[in-house]
């Protein structure tokens, strides 16, 4: 597939057109941001890891019956994906209390939740990704009722599959954020699955192996990304 003009540049990826209107090429950057772009930095080699890891996860989920935007990895940083219309919702699944959940509800980080939870934020940098519920999403016409049902079912299915996968390599999947897109009327999993968008804790030591090391200035950021990548690759 031929890389043509740049269509968009986000905080962590660039998107390029191709000769086929149904496909785009994403290019993963080493740029890292947190707190809606207020904190900026670079995580050396992150783009390569997040690209390759996301594609491995998408391929894995496809074998489990989850439709994704993944098509073909072109290089270390570049992948052909379906050109979807992104549903402007960040879909967050949690298994263990951490981050904003711990803060909002006064639950210590690390408390295993009695059941997995789902929450939605409105994907809007200008508004700081405010939390909303399904009724807000319908009222604001962000998605249809049917799409929301599909997204919820897919998100919990992804959680079951990823939790089991990571357990097998000694990692607890604490929480993660998904994005979905519309492709010829069908909802598919899009964006990425990486240490930028998931919390991964070592099952034994509970060491944080994700972007919280950057967000919270814990040091060892690159090492954490490498460790996750190494374990996935056996």
Residues near ligand TMP, by CB under 6 A = 92, 98-101, 129, 175-177, 197-199
Closer to ligand TMP at the Cβ: 77 or 123?
123
Closer to ligand TMP at the Cβ: 33 or 42?
33
Closer to ligand TMP at the Cβ: 4 or 105?
105
What are the DSSP E strand ranges found in the chain? 6-9, 13-17, 23-28, 31-34, 39-42, 70-73, 78-82, 85-86, 89-96, 112-122, 131-132, 171-183, 186-190, 198-202
Q: % helix / strand / coil in the chain, to the nearest 5?
A: 30, 35, 35
Q: How far is the CB of 173 from ligand TMP (least distance, A)?
A: 9
Identify the CA nearest to 228 among candidates 35, 97, 45, 25: 45
Q: How far is the CB of 101 from ligand TMP (least distance, A)?
A: 6
Q: How far is the CB of 185 from ligand TMP (least distance, A)?
A: 26
Closer to ligand TMP at the Cβ: 101 or 183?
101
Cα separations (Å) of 225 from 79, 128, 157, 208? 19, 26, 25, 10
Closer to ligand TMP at the Cβ: 83 or 199?
199
Comparing every residue's Cβ against ligand TMP, the nearest one is 99
Cβ(181)–Cβ(84) under 8 Å? yes
Cβ(108)–Cβ(97) under 8 Å? yes
Closer to ligand TMP at the Cβ: 176 or 180?
176
Q: How far is the CB of 97 from ligand TMP (least distance, A)?
A: 9
Identify the CA nearest to 154 among candidates 64, 45, 23: 64
Identify the CA nearest to 49 among candidates 34, 30, 68: 30
């Amino acid at each position: 597939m031929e890389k043509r003009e740049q269509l968009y540049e986000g905080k962590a990826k660039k998107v390029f057109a191709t000769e086929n209107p149904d496909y785009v090429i994403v290019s993963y950057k080493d740029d890292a941001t947190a707190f809606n772009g207020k904190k900026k930095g670079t995580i050396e080699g992150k783009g390569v890891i997040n690209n390759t890891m996301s594609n491995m996860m998408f391929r894995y989920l496809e074998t489990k019956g989850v439709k994704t935007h993944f098509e073909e990895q072109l290089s270390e940083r570049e992948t052909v994906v379906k050109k979807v219309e992104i549903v402007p919702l960040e879909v967050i699944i949690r298994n263990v209390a951490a981050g904003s959940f711990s803060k909002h509800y006064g639950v210590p980080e690390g408390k295993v939740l009695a059941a997995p939870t789902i929450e939605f934020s409105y994907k809007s940098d200008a508004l700081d990704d405010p939390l909303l519920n399904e009724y807000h999403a319908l009222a604001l016409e962000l998605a249809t009722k049917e799409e929301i049902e599909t997204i919820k079912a897919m998100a919990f299915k992804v959680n079951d599959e990823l939790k089991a996968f990571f357990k097998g390599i000694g990692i607890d999947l604490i929480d993660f954020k998904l994005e979905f897109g519309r492709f010829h009327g069908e909802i598919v999993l899009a964006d990425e699955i990486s240490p930028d968008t998931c919390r991964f804790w070592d099952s034994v030591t509970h060491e944080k192996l994700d972007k919280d090391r950057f967000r919270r200035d814990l040091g060892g950021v690159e090492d954490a990304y490498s460790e996750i990548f190494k374990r996935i690759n056996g």
